[in-house]
Amino acid sequence: MSSSAILPVGDGGILEAVRVFLGSLWQKKLIDVLLVPLELPSGGNVVPAIVSDPSKLKMANPLAPIMPLNSARQVSAITRASPSAERLGVVLRPCEMRALIELVKLKQVSLENLLLIGIDCLGTYSAGDYGRFAQEVKSPASDFLRKFQEGKEDPLLRKACQICEYPVPMNADLVIGLLGTDLNNSILLKAGTVAGERIIGELGLKKSDAENREAAITKMVSEKAERRERLFAQVRKDVRGLEKLMATLATCVNCHNCKTACPLCYCQECFFDSSVFQFEAEKYLGWAQRRGALRMPTDTLLFHLTRLNHMVISCVGCGLCTEACPNNIPVADIFRLVGDKVQKDFEYVPGKSLEEELPLTTFREEELPNIGT
């Protein structure tokens, strides 16, 4: 049974409570540095930053409804070449945490010396929507939380967030719990590992039984799952078949931004950016000859289908591919729909377990009787 403690919410609000908690990790010498979203001095965005000076925590804002990029990628950037020598805390949303676990399995992240701090996610906005929202209101985080408390559907939430059935971080040492708490008085700190238990002990926090948490999570997950099924039905209608698929990809300009934004596309050099796709003139002209015309740049559908093949089994549904698309192609919707099927086939939930092997790196002798005879 994992223990939960109370983080009291004072006059400074929830954000202050979270900042105080993060600061206490330094005071108790539990971490040396922290990767956490900071408000930019210019305003209008909150970006992941490595904080070495706890006084910078007054800009920390993991509650603002914005995820400009998936920080799992940043943890990979920090630890891929060599593990962190200092104790590094990382504050991640659930989809970032799940991507992180996938990246560990893909050998792109070292967990050595890392303290994983997850935070319940109530969803995020597109960067543009967030920028406008942050200008309109005094405190984007508390206004967003107020909207959540009122229980109204937030139309600004990104589609990926509206259908996300994983609002609670998995595999974190510690989880900052918002769901099932009375946000005006206190939030939760929940241990997920032995290391987390020890930290809760060292911080000397008051224990909580977190009695409303499970029910709140179940309610949120079932609402999101219902919305997800509705979206899937729509995507099936919009995308299935060569004609509709190409209509969906009509505005693709092969910029590969979706690949760049994807936390899991980890190849140092993508096959599609390699010299394999630099053809001689006669190749292009030959293809054009054969079909009467040739769309330029070439291989639009090949790129998307290949990326599906390579990544969909690990897709955590963060939706940043759609965000990155300059022409609003619903890349993430397609990945979620296809991912749902493929992941179910292999009973695999990306980011759920460090022990479960990646389906493409392992096999069972007796399986898939329909493939090959």
- State the residues that interact with another protein by CB under 8 A: 239-242, 244-246, 271, 288, 290-295, 299-302, 305-306, 308-310, 312-313, 334, 337-338, 341-342, 345-346, 359-361, 363-365, 367-368, 370-373
**Which residue number, 9 or 312, has a Cβ lying nearer to another protein?**
312
CA distance 320 to 222: 23
Cβ closest to another protein, residue 53 vs residue 366: 366
| Class of residue 269 by CB neighbours under 10 A (exposed 0-12, middle 13-18, buried 19+) | exposed
Strands (E), 114-213: 114-119, 174-177, 186-191, 207-208
156 vs 249, which CB is nearer to another protein?
249
Two tokens, residue 31: 């971490």
Closest listed residue to residue 169, CA positions, set 186, 184, 191, 147 = 191
Buried b (16+ CB within 10 A) or exposed e, 160-170: bbbbbbbbbbb
Rounded least distance, CB 233 to another protein, Å: 13
Closest approach, Cβ 214 to another protein, in A, equals 33
Taking the C-alpha atoms of residue 284 and residue 99, their distance in angstroms, rounded to an integer, is: 38
Which residue type occupies 124? T
Could you tell me the smallest distance in angstroms from the CB atom of residue 236 to another protein?
8
Query: Could you give the angle at the alpha carbon of 313 between the alpha carbons of 192 and 223, nearest 5°?
Result: 60
Least Å from the CB of residue 275 to another protein = 15
User: Considering beta carbons, is residue 201 or 286 the nearer one to another protein?
Assistant: 286
Other CB atoms within 10 Å distance of the CB of residue 120: 24
Given the complex with another protein, which of 169 and 339 has the nearer CB atom? 339
204: which 2 tokens?
Answer: 């000397």
- Minimum distance, C-beta of residue 291 to another protein, in the bound complex (Å): 4
Q: Are 31 and 173 in contact (CB under 8 A)?
A: no
Nearer CB in complex with another protein: 182/273? 273
Closest separation in Å from C-beta 249 to another protein = 9
Closer Cβ to another protein, 29 or 237, answer by number: 237
Shortest Cβ 250–another protein spacing (Å): 8
Q: Which of 187, 59, 28 is nearest to 122 (CA)?
A: 187
Q: Which is nearer to another protein, 199 or 311 (CB)?
A: 311
Tokens describing residue 370: 């329909």
Q: Helix/strand/coil (H, E, C) string of 66-88?
A: ECCCCCHHHHHHHHCCCCCCCCE
| Shortest spacing between CB 242 and another protein, in angstroms | 6
